[in-house]
Amino acid sequence: MKILVTGGAGYIGSHFSKYLIENKHKVCVLDNLSRGHQEAVPKYAEFVKADLLNPESLNIAVKSFQPEAVVHFAAFAYVGESVQKPEMYYLNNVVGSYNLIRACVESGVKNFVFSSTCSIYGNPAKVPISEEQLSNPINPYANTKLIIETLLRDFEAAHGIKNVCLRYFNAAGADPNSEIGESHNPESHLIPLVIYTAQKMREKILVFGNDYETPDGTCIRDYIHVNDLADAHLRALNYLVDGGDSTIVNLGTGNGNSVLEIIERTKRITGKEIAIELVGRRAGDPAILVADNKKAQTVLDWKPKFGIDEIIQTACDWHQDPKF
């Protein structure tokens, strides 16, 4: 297939683009490089520097490449930043996505896979979290993702764009060959922060609350390897091309690991001491977020292949000698 990947210079988008190339697809990465890295774009992918907020250049890029499908990763994705600067998130994420969907209509693209988030569920009523749970976003970032899902539903009704919205849990790990990996500025994800602490690039890791109703008192999250996410996105594309109906699918392992467990496993894998400091809870942090992934298994015939130790190991390998 000819596949346009927006945000393909970012963390998950770059791993997906590499995975597509390895599976013999033709890829065009579209990214404005505001938060991505051009070094992460696979060498056999076409690259277009363009901004979703510039409809003219966006329309030209889509019409020029003539993709059979679009996979949309491009977004701002810091929860705290979205609370402080909601106007920036609604403009970039919602307006940018609207422009992209409009460009797809004008170019006749009928297959669209969207990078969504489990944050849409807010504080879940039940764990593990299934797709049937009510949406209850509790921050602007999650709100933008839900609005985009709604846009896709409405544009399908009007223009026939079929879509799969993939709500994933905690993306983690790195390319097993260490060619690309996770590189955010600032970094907010637990596993790289723990690795930085093991490498003495940070003095300590902050543990936000140890009084949750979990076995060790710290929050539990469902960590999913970025290559398992890449595999699921390609399966979602194939599902649409084969005539599947638009749908929403959770992507997670179905298993959770606590903050302290991640720290202990990283200590064992690296052989390094990791200093921690217990501090108070962060507002809005649910105790447990774990996916019910039965729908992904049945609809996409997908199962994650990487366990938590492999996730941490591939991340450690990348951070030994990061390329960007």
CB of 117 closer than 8 Å to CB of 73: no
Residues in contact with 186: Cβ distance below 8 Å, sequence separation at least 6, in sequence order: none
- The three-class DSSP label of residue 29 is strand
For 23: left if phi > 0, alpha if psi spans -120 to 50, otherwise beta; the answer is alpha
Write down the number of H helices and E strands in the chain. Answer: 11, 14
CA 255 to chain centre: 18
Nearest-CA neighbor of 218 among 229, 209, 231? 209
- List residues with catalytic annotation: 141
**C-alpha span between 130 and 118 (Å, rounded):** 10
Q: Distance between CA 157 and CA 83 in Å, rounded? A: 32
